[in-house]
Amino acid sequence: MGQAVALAGLVTLFAFIGPFGTYDSMGPLGRLGYWAVAMGANWLVCAGVMTTALRLARGGSPRTRIPTVAGAALLAAIPGTGVVFTAEALFRPDYSDESSLPIIYVSVAVLMLAIGSTVVAVLARRRRVPENAEAAAASGDVAAGGTARFLDRLPPELGRDLVHLKMADHYVEAFTTAGSTLVLMRFADAIAELDGTDGLRVHRSHWVARGHVVGTTRRNGRRVLRLTGGREVPVSRGYLADVRAAGLV
């Protein structure tokens, strides 16, 4: 539903402003039809390429989203050029010339960047919104002795021996004994999905597995937990009582 609304908004916007020469060469209805065909078909192409690229890039830094989206846009612009050339032949036959393909490709690449950025934003927003039914089911699975649902979000190569969670903007950085990855979700939701596991929140931005706490120390007067693998996690005052109750300090 979110993508459909975003697509309709972009089609309306492009039909109104008439980019790439469509304002001067077509009337309002012609522009609406042109952009509905060009944008609609390319949306499907771009959405498929973008989601595949982002899955392949999963585990990287949030900063990798920009080059990932840009690279996927350049790739998606290849079939997208064919779509626009077809739309040109249908709505502006006088403009459909094979010599214009390079110009069309550049224009489509820009269009793909606009679509791709919107698709990524919609997907990110969807991932951030907790789904109550799934959360309830996950809690039921844990209570019955099942596996915490958050662990299903981790790549198989990282295993399921979770050591530490860390807040990273809109992501949660998860550390296992085999490595780390980024998961696009709220930190509070990640902790909720770990309900029933042997771990606890020790800071606004940190959760630890009790079995991987190997010691404690102090840094600049603050309590710090030492974890498996040499990582250190600060304990904030608001969670110190819980950490003490868990026998970690």
Q: What DSSP letter does each residue of 156-176 carry, written as one string?
A: GGG-S-EEEEEEETTEEEEEE
- β-partners of residue 232 are 226
Angle, vertex CA 55, rays to CA 193 and CA 71, nearest 5: 145
- Look over the chain and give the mean of its residue pLDDT values, rounded to a whole number: 78
Q: How many residues does the chain have?
A: 249
Q: Is the model's pLDDT at 197 over the cut of 80?
A: yes
Place of tokens 């020469």: 21
pLDDT for the residue numbered 180:
93
Sheet of 171-176: strand order equals 179-184, 171-176, 162-168, 206-209, 199-203
Helix (H) or strand (E) holding 207: strand 206-209
pLDDT for the residue numbered 64:
59
Q: Is the model's pLDDT at 167 over the cut of 80?
A: yes
Query: Looking at the domain that runs over 150-245, which CATH code has it been given?
Result: 2.40.50.1020
Q: What is the mean pLDDT of residues 41-56?
A: 72
pLDDT for the residue numbered 212:
94
At residue 18 the predicted structure's pLDDT band, cuts being 50, 70 and 90, is confident
- Percent pLDDT > 90 in the chain is 29
pLDDT in tens, 102-123: 887 887 788 777 766 765 665 5
What is the CB-side half-sphere exposure of residue 209 using CA atoms within 13 A? 19
Contact call for residues 167 and 205 (beta carbons, < 8 A): yes
**Structural domain boundaries of the chain?**
2-128, 150-245
pLDDT for the residue numbered 204:
94
pLDDT in tens, 129-145: 444 434 434 443 433 33
Q: Per mean pLDDT, which range of 2-16, 112-126, 147-161 is the poorest?
A: 112-126
Q: Which amino acid is at 231?
A: R
Helix (H) or strand (E) holding 223: strand 222-227
pLDDT for the residue numbered 5:
76
Residues 6+ apart with CB under 8 A from 224: 216, 217, 218, 232, 233, 234, 235
Coil, strand or helix at 110: helix
